[in-house]
Chain A
Amino acid sequence: MRAMLAIARNTLREALRDRVLYLFLGFAVLMLVSSKIFGLLTVGDEGKVIKDLGLAGVQFFSMLIAVMMSVLLISREVDGRTVYNILAKPVRRWQFLLGKYLGLLATVALNLTLMALVMVVMVRLYSGEWDMGLLFASAMILLEMAVVTAFATLFAVLTRPMLGTVFTLAVYIIGHVAEDIWLLTQHITAGVTRPIVAAIYYMLPNLERFNFKTEVVHELSIPPGEIAVTIVYGLAYTVLVLVLACVRFSHKDLT
């Protein structure tokens, strides 16, 4: 445990010193500038536009960090000789991988938290309200990023950095269009194809499950049961992918 936490702390420190927080600053500037512009362009509720933009920005920048940093912090170390000195020590392979994952997730979480706070302040400035629902939506985005980061970790172990990036982005995109795959099954009447497609749908990560932007922006109620199941879904999927990553990594020859 101590080794795992040391690896996590070190990973976070590496990310912070690698100026990853500049992305948060970029987000803050984007929010400031675009809020001003949208205020001029739109008619009606400026607050809605700022919330939509803010949540989209939080999600996009968090995804960017998850994908980019996984290459820098995990792929680079696993793919090269960087991991040799660590794994030659009394550190289990799963401890190394989980440590790396936790460090990367902490990096994403830190940036996400800062971006969420900026967004809440911007909304307060333009619409006069403290919308704490935005923090809830951001927390769900963080859960989504936990799943995406787990996939980034898995692909870092399975393949080369560039391919890993592509696969992670593919998971992100597929995760957001999974619903459409489900709709596709409804149009298929042929025998065996429909259950196969349905099975694929249920197994793919449906990242839209973590999307509560509409509910938060339009102040709709969300059943607590749905939130609970969503959290369980996210955590279970994350653990599943990490287990696969650890199993693969434990058998991997580090050539």
Chain B
Amino acid sequence: MAENIQKGIISGLIVGVVMLLLALVGFVNTSAQIISGLMGKTVENGTPASLLVFLAIVSFFGGMFAIRAPHHIAKSWAFVVVRSALSGLASGLIVGVFTWIIGTELASKVEMRAYLNALSPDNVRVMTVDQPALLAGLTIFGLLTAVSLASGVLWHLVTLAGIGRLITGVWTDTVSEVTSNPGVQRVASSKTTRYLVYAALILTLFVLPRTFNNFIIHTLGTVGIYVLIGLGLNIVVGLAGLLDLGYVAFFAVGSFVMALLTAPFPHNLLWSFWPVVPICIGVAGAIGVLLGVPVLRLRGDYLAIVTLGFGEIIRILIKSDDMAWLTNGPKGVTNVGQPILFGQKFNSELDFFYMIVLGAMAVIFVTNRLEHSRVGRSWIAIREDETVARAMGINTWFYKLLAFGIGAAFAGLGGALVASRSLFVGPEDYTLLVSINVLALVIVGGMGSIPGVILGAFVLKGIPELLRDLDQYRVLFFGILLVVMMILRPQGIWPAQRRRLEMARDDEPVDLTQSAEGAAK
């Protein structure tokens, strides 16, 4: 019982502090506005009712949080009631007292905004649900306690009834029944099915966006660019295990090659878009190899630091006055050339989206072929244990350079497309943060996994767009999402699977001498 009391109070304190924090940074009000919006009221500020709804939601999860325990522990009713009630009481006490204090201060006309931006009179009025301070505090205290207790009891009932297990059980049974059916297996593994799936996928990718507005297409295009360069970094980090923090350099090289060769200023070369694309890929790949030569002698953390340095060097070079004759320095390059196809301008958001999808498909194709070959095996061996990989006869120097070069080439393609799409390149678009974002999407998606990288790009580049409603709290929530993700699924959303290769064999074990004969020669 003592333990239950202790755990309950601790849970409550955590929930209370979280709510307090959210209130102090002003998020409580923002969320109240969103909820008001959802309830069909467009208001400047949240309404008291929407605030209560928000607090109830948080408290509901608080109650769930308070009664969590390892599976093998049987939860008694005392366990559930004590923990969820105490958790509600503790969090209610914190938030209630806070409400009471700010309510009193508001009544005595103290200008709290001087200390915290979020505590403007309007906000405080919402936080105190438009009531006198003490009453507001007591209301919130009561609400949190009641909801937390109710939530604990409700979840316990759900567990007792086995509803969760019922659903997952039926689900897994059905899935295993369907997948183990030989007919289904045959159809699923047949080539025709595979091509049909591809065809459907391509059709969706090319036809569906026609119905979207430009903003969505633009966002999808950005996601696509990140898929493209993410797959490049996936070869370097995910397959070969080389932690490269300067990956943005190759992205920048691709962009600037495209810009300088096609823009009217500073060189007035005005080359056409199409032949420049392979040049961008080639130059980025070559620079990848050149940078790789001195850098790839290092391993692990040292490699990360040095590549980080190289990434910055490239950006600063592009920006520097000494290179301004070539790169136009910090001003960047405007009016980057755009593609023309059969005499028609090919430069709408949709056109670029198509090009990006085609680019990503090419990159997936190349990655897939390399991964499932002697080359991919060597990369993974290097990632797993470089010393032993060398002792297996793998020329690690060559394979590491190859990974670096191919990864850089993919980034070059991405850079070329981005430069042309946004008509402008400036050195400040290619900061360390881009490298870190790309690395994050590879890790969140699942290292070394193509579908993982695609999902990662959607999660990391797509979700922040969806979270626009949360305006300045977007990054906060994004951070929380990443932390939760790393706790619950450290291997990534869609981790890489190893392919099954061993032959199903019915014959007797091989005669050792016969198969050995060749070996001895």
Q: Do A and B bind each other?
A: no
